[in-house]
Every structure is written in C-alpha cells, then in structure tokens.
Amino acid sequence: MAKPEGAEKGSFDLDRFRKLLQLMEKYGVTEANLQKDGESWKVRRGPRQVAVAPEMTLPAPVAAAPAPVDFSATAPAAPAAPAGVTIDAPTVGTFYSSPTPEEPTFVNVGSTVQPDTTICIIEAMKVFNQIPAEKAGRIIEVLVANGDAVEFGQPLFRIEPA
C-alpha cells in the first residue's frame, strides 16, 4: 500500500493536521497529544489556561480574654490637628519656590502674605503660572519642595490666618 503524498518519514500530513484542528474546534477541545509509530503531535488551541488553586480559608483566631480596664487612668490625648489653614495648588504641574534658581524664594516660614502676594510658580506644559496666596496671614509651614510635582488641590503652604 502506497503512503499518501507528504506522508513520507520526516514530514507532516497537513490534511490530517487540518482535520484534527477542525475536530478540536467542533468539539471544543483545547489540547491534544497524539503519538503513533514514533510520530508525536501536541496541539493547543486558544490561550493557555492557568489552573487556579481554590481559595483556602483559615480558621478564625480565638479571641483572648479582654484585659481589665483601668478607669482611673486618663486616656491619651488625640493628636492635635495642625494649626492654621492650607493654601492649595490650583492646578497640576511643577512647583517652583522662586522665579529663577538664582533668585530668592517668594516666601519662607515666617513671611507675611496678603491675598495678592505671589507665593510660588506652578509650571504646566511650559507655562509658568504665578500663584497668589488668596489669603492673608503668616506662613508657618512649606509643605512641598522646589521642583516637586503637585496635584490639583494638594496643600502647598500652611498659614496662620491674619
């Protein structure tokens, strides 16, 4: 009996291979391993499936008996909220504390500001926006460093209102 064309040793029978792929698709088979007379075929369709281990639940920890409460001791004080109010970034960009690297900063801790006092520059897309304080008071804390990226609404300075 003569072998079909292309079925000689060392080559694949493409017709049989196509038929195998059609059967896999028809029956929803995603992987097949075939071996016969030293010939081996391994075919996989679709994305590789990854087996996921079932979620394991751990037993709930046993609660220890509550410690006795000493009502004679005073409770520790809650941390105090920072003093003052913040001046927030009106836009996204890069914070600059001075007009140029060689010039002094617009404001420092202890500086008194008025609503129209320029306190920094925020650069966005090569546009340098001078930012006014919009509040009167004394700077008590600088919350960002020169060159930092800032987000809209991010606190820049803390002031003690006048």
**pLDDT tens sequence across 13-45:** 778 778 877 887 788 777 777 777 777 777 776
Q: Is 157 part of a structural domain of the chain?
A: yes
Mean pLDDT over the full length of the chain: 79
pTM above 0.75, yes or no: no
Q: Distances from the Cα of 161 to the Cαs of 35, 113, 116, 117, 158, in angstroms?
A: 84, 9, 14, 14, 9
Q: Check which CATH number belongs to the domain holding 157 and give it.
A: 2.40.50.100
Check whether residue 39 and residue 94 sit in a common domain: no
Q: Is 131 part of a structural domain of the chain?
A: yes
Radius of gyration of the chain (CA): 36
- How many domains, the chain? 2
Q: Which residue has the tokens 């001075």?
A: 98
Q: Is 7 part of a structural domain of the chain?
A: no
Q: End-to-end alpha-carbon separation of the chain, Å? A: 106
Q: Which residue has the tokens 């079932």?
A: 54
Range of 89's domain? 85-161
Check whether residue 149 and residue 89 sit in a common domain: yes
Separation CA 44–CA 2 (nearest Å) = 31
**pLDDT tens sequence across 93-142:** 999 999 999 999 999 999 999 999 999 999 998 899 999 999 999 999 99
Check whether residue 156 and residue 103 sit in a common domain: yes
